[in-house]
Amino acid sequence: MSRPVALITGGGRGIGAATSKRLAEDGYDILLTYNTSSKPAEMVVNEIREAGYDALAVKVDCSNVGEVGLLGIHPWMARGIDALVLNHGSYERVAADKLTLESLKATMATNFEGAVAVWKAVQPYLTPNARMVVVGSQLGTRGSPHGADYAASKAALSVWARSLAQAVGPEGKRVNVLAPGYVDTAILAGDSAEKRAQREDEVPLKRVGSPEDMASTISFLIGKDSRYITGTILHVNGGLYLP
């Protein structure tokens, strides 16, 4: 019970899973959430425990106010939350000119409103010097012709996070945004070999990022070496997009 606690939403897969394991190595007990499938999340928990650390997975649909409310009364909250990583999200490829209000509302409910809801639920339990990382996207800055709702949700998330950083900075809390480019997660799982090669060729470093690349950056933003960084959007994309 002496280790600090890190809460990672969407912590069972992709960037979230890599972050859960990295922060466990960094000295945190891990409380991770999942929504649609418990097996990957439990596999992450087991891996962390086998390494000698502690972790727990809880089912939370971040777009569901009731489930987020239950997260807010989870017993681990009493220990205090030292690090919060808002990583959950959904992405459906819909052409910008075909976007419906229903699709936009659903995406915003999960990616943006869900993140704010988790923050509100956890806020009373954040320790005085808590660190928060919001996982945004390069698309939240540059836009996307085939994912306008996703891009809009990530843009809203990033501006909210930067606003929050200004509000809670005087309390000693820090809030930053990680904006990945191409990352080898479920979003790219449907790529053909040709599409993957095209993506790699677009990136100056000539490879798609790994979840571990993102996790190491999150580790930095939560760690002491970034103690004077807050309110920033850190683009981690191998040079793909240089705002």
What positions carry a catalytic annotation? 150
User: Reading across the β-sheet that carries 81-86, which strands appear in turn?
Assistant: 55-59, 29-34, 5-9, 81-86, 126-135, 174-180, 233-236
User: CA 91, 222, 53, 119 torsion: positive or negative?
Assistant: negative
Q: Collapsing DSSP states into helix, strand and coil, what is residue 54?
A: coil
DSSP strand E in 55-185: where? Answer: 55-59, 81-86, 126-135, 174-180
Sorted by sequence, the CB contacts under 8 Å of residue 106 that are 6+ apart come out as 63, 90
CA 214 to chain centre: 10
DSSP assignments along 64-78, one per residue: -HHHHHHHTT-GGGG
